[in-house]
């Protein structure tokens, strides 16, 4: 009697991870709006990524009232979405980021389309606002992420 109820509650609490391809991701972030997009590429198997995720949640929380969208883009295999990625995010309890999973074959092609300077190693993060973009392979802490974000938003340098 109680078990189906628990399953139902779990499904409410489960953060849902939206699957999309790169064209769809680009359509979402390159729309020339005033919104600043912070796009973090991560995976459950990537330790430095998992370590820096709290900084992104903190950023999303801090700017929740402003036109700032933090997208956590998982590069886990699509088959791991419900078995690994969603349970991981549920355990972490993130509320302010949006969760996506990039389902795109042929990394040797799409990595360059994200940014030609990307070697393919993660973590990697991209800031986008209008037609401005900053991309880097870097592991952030909360302070550095916030200061980089602020500099980017101001438009310097």
Give residues in contact with other proteins (CB under 8 A). Answer: 43, 45-48, 75, 77, 79, 105-108, 111-112, 117-123, 134-139, 144, 147-148, 150-152, 154, 156-157
Complex with other proteins: residue 30 or 45, whichever CB lies closer? 45
Query: What is the distance between the alpha carbons of residues 118 and 14, in angstroms, rounded to a whole number?
Result: 32
Query: What is the distance between the alpha carbons of residues 62 and 56, in angstroms, rounded to a whole number?
Result: 10
Q: How far is the CB of 47 from other proteins (least distance, A)?
A: 8
CB contact burial 69-99 (16+ within 10 A = b; e otherwise): bbbbbbbbeeebbeebbbebbeeeebebbbb
- Kindly report each contact of residues 108-116 with a partner whose C-beta sits within 8 Å and lies 24 or more positions away, as own/partner: 110/22, 113/22, 113/26, 114/22, 114/41
Q: How far is the CB of 64 from other proteins (least distance, A)?
A: 21
Complex with other proteins: residue 33 or 141, whichever CB lies closer? 141
Q: How far is the CB of 153 from other proteins (least distance, A)?
A: 10
Complex with other proteins: residue 93 or 105, whichever CB lies closer? 105
Complex with other proteins: residue 97 or 122, whichever CB lies closer? 122
């Amino acid at each position: 009697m109680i078990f189906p109820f628990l399953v139902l509650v779990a499904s409410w609490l489960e953060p849902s991870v939206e699957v999309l391809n790169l064209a769809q991701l680009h359509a979402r972030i390159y729309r020339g709006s005033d919104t600043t997009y912070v796009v973090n590429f991560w995976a459950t198997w990537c330790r430095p990524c998992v370590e820096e995720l709290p900084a992104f949640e903190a950023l999303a929380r801090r700017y929740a009232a402003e036109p700032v969208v933090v997208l956590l883009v998982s590069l886990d295999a699509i088959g791991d979405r419900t078995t690994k990625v969603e349970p991981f995010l549920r355990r972490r309890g993130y509320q302010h980021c949006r969760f996506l999973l990039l389902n795109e074959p042929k990394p040797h092609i799409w990595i360059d389309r994200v940014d030609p300077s990307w070697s393919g190693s993660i973590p990697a993060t991209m800031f986008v606002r209008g037609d401005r973009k900053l991309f880097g392979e870097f592991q952030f802490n909360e302070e550095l992420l916030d200061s980089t974000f602020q500099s980017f938003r101001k438009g310097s340098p």
